[in-house]
Amino acid sequence: MGAVRKLPPTALPRPSARARILSAAADLARDVGPANLSLDAVAARAGVSKGGLLYHFPAKLDLLEALVGDHLETFDRDLETQQALLGAGPAAALHAYLDVSLADCRKQTPPPAGVLAAIVQHPEMLKPIKHFKRQILDRLKADTGHDATTLVAFLVMEGLRSMKLFDADVLSDEETATAMEALRAMIGRIEEAGGV
């Protein structure tokens, strides 16, 4: 057991145990199903003893909360940087949201599986997620000044996200691109109309 584990921590800085545990949990959730996540299995995949896992996350709930928290924080940070990058263009917030959501969906190892595990095991963890999404939606509506288009864009991204969440793409990449194009065109139309 644990034979390979003794590389010097200075060379190639192995990701922190905490990070390894989190990503192992997300991977496992995708492999065995979000409902069947066990601490033993997470520890094994992360290359950590069970004692070590419990050192970082004293209870399972703590691990699940971290899974959700990390995801939300990352998304929020990405959103801000992208919005800064786009500057003060028309409907910049909405475009940034589209960009980041799409990029999030494209990540090969989607943390969403971990988030899903958290939600289905402790439904009350939806609350922060709901709150987060609501905030974003309100910000987008304020930014575009055109509710209908914003809502449609928001829902489209939610649809895309839900497919990735379950690791069950129904759409091909081309179809996704087609939909995104139509969406951008729609947004462009409200820009021309002086909506922004």
Partner DNA sequence: TTTACTGTACCGTCTGGACGGTAATGTCAA
Partner DNA sequence: TTGACATTACCGTCCAGACGGTACAGTAAA
Query: Which positions touch its own copies (CB under 8 A)?
Result: 30, 32-36, 116-117, 119-123, 126, 129-130, 133-134, 137, 147-149, 151-152, 154-163, 165-168, 170-171, 175, 178-179, 181-183, 186
- To which residue do tokens 């390979």 refer? 4
**Contact partner, 17, from its own copies, DNA, none, Cβ < 5-8 Å per class:** DNA
Name the token pair of 50: 């069970």
- What's the min distance (Å) between Cβ of 131 and its own copies? 9
**Nearest distance from residue 191's CB to DNA, in Å?**
49
- Dihedral sign from CA coordinates of 80, 83, 85, 88: negative
> CA dihedral defined by 150, 110, 173, 181, rounded to 10 degrees?
20
From residue 58 to residue 97, the character string flagging contacts with DNA as x (rule: CB under 7 A) and all else as - is xxxx------------------------------------
Residue 126 touches which of DNA, its own copies, none (CB < 5 to 8 A by kind)?
its own copies
Closest CA to 75 of 18, 8, 156, 157: 157
Decide: is 16 part of the binding site for DNA (CB under 7 A).
Answer: yes
Minimum separation from the CB atom of position 121 to its own copies (A): 4
If binding is defined by CB under 7 A, does position 120 make contact with DNA? no
Q: Which residues bind DNA (CB under 7 A)?
A: 1-2, 5, 9-10, 16-18, 36-41, 43, 47-56, 58-61
